[in-house]
Structures are given as C-alpha cells and as structure tokens.
Amino acid sequence: MSTPRRALPPLVDYGLLPLLNLTAAFLVAGLVVLVIGEDPIGTVKIMLSGSLGYAEGIGFTLYYTTNFIFTGLAVAVAFHAGLFNIGAEGQATVAGIVVAALCLTFDGAPWWLVFPFALAGGMLGGAAWAFVPAWAQARRGSHIVITTIMFNFLAATLIVYLLVNVMGKPGAMSPETRTFAEATRLPLLRDLVAPLGWDLGQSPLNPMIFVAIVAVAVVWVLIWHTRLGYEIRTVGFNPTAAAYAGIDAGHVVIAAMLISGALAGLVAVNEVMGVQSRLVLEFVGGAGFVGIAVALMGRSHPFGVVLASLLFGVLYQGGAELAFEKPKITRDMIVVIQALVILFMGALEHMFRPALERIFARSGEGGR
C-alpha cells in the first residue's frame, strides 16, 4: 500500500518544489556540459542573452512559448480529469490539415476574414482527432495513453498521404502545399511594431500570442469557476466519489479530451497560417510532447503553464544560439537538457517531496 501524501503549503508545493527540481535538472545538465569540456556558467550566459538579451531573441522566445502554452494547456486540462493525453502532437497535425485546407480554399482573402475560420477549424480538427481515444476510454475502457500514441502515428501517416497524393504542390519534390497568398497569411508582429521603433528582426511572432493569453484565462475560468471544471477536477481526483455524486465520468472524460484536443489544434494556426504559410511535414516540431513537461512543471495550473512555457521557450531559442556559438554543444545536447528537466519535473517529481513533507510536518507539530 502506498503512503498517503501530506499536504504541503501552496507556496512550497507550487513554488519551492518545482524550483528544487529545476535546480537539480540544471546541475546535472551542467555536469554534462563540463564533461564535454565547456564552461557551464558561460553556457547559461549565452542561453539567456540569446533568448532574452535582445529584441529579435525575445521575439523567437515568445514564438516558441506560444506553441508550448497551447500544448501545455491541452495536457493540463486532461491531467485535471485524470487523463494522460500524449496525443497533442497528432491532434495538432490533423488541425494543421484542416487549417491548410481552409487557407487554400479562401486563398487571397484578407487574413482577418480567414482567421476566425482557421481558429474554429483548427480547434475542431484537434478535438475531432481526440474524440475516438476519448470515447474508447470512456465507453470501452481502452487506455488513453495507448490510443493517443497510436493516433499520433495515424496522423503522421495521414498528412504524408494527403501531401503526396491530394494537397501537395504539383511538380514539387518536397511534400508540401503551395504557399498561401500574402494577404491570407497572419501578419507578423515585427511589421506592426516597427513604426514604434521596436525591431523584432526576423522573428515569426504573430497575433497568436494574444490568442494564447486568452486561452490561459479561459482555461483558468473553465477549471476553477464552472460546473464542468468542477466535474473534471472531481473525476480526476476520485472517480468513485464522482460517480457517487451523480457525475457521469464518461461524459466528463470525453468533454475534457475534446477541450484538450481543441487547445492542441491552435498550434496549427500559429504554424500553418502564421510561420510556415503552407502545410509541411512535421510542422508541429515536437511541441505536443514538450506540452507534457510544461503541464507537469506548471502543476497543471494555467499560470504555471505560462511560466513553464516561457522557460522552454528560453531553452529552445537559447539552445539555438548556443549551438551557433558553441559547436561542441549541438541541438542534441539541448534536447538532453530538456529531457533532464522533464525527468526531474515528471518522473522524479517526488524525489524532494518526502523530505519537505517531513520538515513541514515537524514544523506544524512544533507550532501546536
């Protein structure tokens, strides 16, 4: 029988514990950097200056952060219902197919006219791809982890087939659609803020950053201030008690997964209509899997997800600068650092918790 967890003060549970895990991850990553003969302190300086030290770097960091907010929220909503949605990658991929189809259909129309349809189409595409795993879990007892993994593979196969046989640019050797007309592409913030004297360089940051902020607020209201959010949290905390209270757990599981898929689908709008301006293979770029770490690190709280997304945005952009400045530290090394963060924030999350629980239990007894 497992030992029941003691409650920690919120500041410790949501602040100190993640900080300890993150510190441990970076200490181990520093040892890896030392092993290959580089200076860990200098490495950190390059990463921070490359991601936050100048306007273009900040633009790229916020662009990566936007994708991670969407996938982090997607995984967090599923977490609250007790579900491990590993399928954000596939859900965003299918959403990209829908967004590309809409942009090609209305190609040449002003972006502000196509944008609402792209948002709705991306969310519907992501939700639709999450429906079957959700239904199988809720009504047939299938495991959501297995089905969402398999649906990632199915989505990867589907996009290859469509780009090669249906949607691909005629005569092109690479599997991709034609580029959308300039009027249909999302505008870049660098063009909008340039008259104000802000030079964001070549960063692909676009208005989807504002959609991400709205999504954070909507998820916060949904989870903590609506009846559906209460039911999601109840089912996630104790399905038996939820059933005793008259909550249809199957209905809640399907609803949570549809919301999760819809949030993951917003990545497609940022990438397909904004950054790539066409549909290409693997445009999601692993953001669906990073969302798992973001949700774990952010304790599935929308504002925690924002902070964790920003950290991973710094790691991505700073890592790109690092690979340029330090040839010994490749992109694969950056992946190792990210993996260490995921390891300590996820699999080893309880490494420091027992010690903190004992410390605060003793302090509580001493105060009586």
CA 324 to each of CA 126, 209, 228, 330: distance values in angstroms, whole numbers, following the listed order: 35, 26, 47, 8
Encode pLDDT of 273-316 as tens digits: 989 899 998 899 888 888 988 898 888 899 989 998 998 898 88
Span 102-153, pLDDT tens digits: 999 999 899 999 999 999 999 999 999 999 999 999 888 888 899 999 999 9
The DSSP symbol for 346 reads: I
Beta bridge pairs of residue 360: none
Cβ neighbours of residue 308 closer than 8 Å, sequence gap 6 or more: 68, 72, 293, 294, 295, 297, 298
C-beta of residue 61 within 8 angstroms of C-beta of residue 317: yes
Looking at residue 134, its pLDDT comes to 94
Q: What is the pTM of this model?
A: 0.89
Instruction: Note the pLDDT of residue 278.
Output: 92
- What is the predicted pLDDT for the residue at 5? 57
Res 366: pLDDT: 54
- 280 beta partners: 176
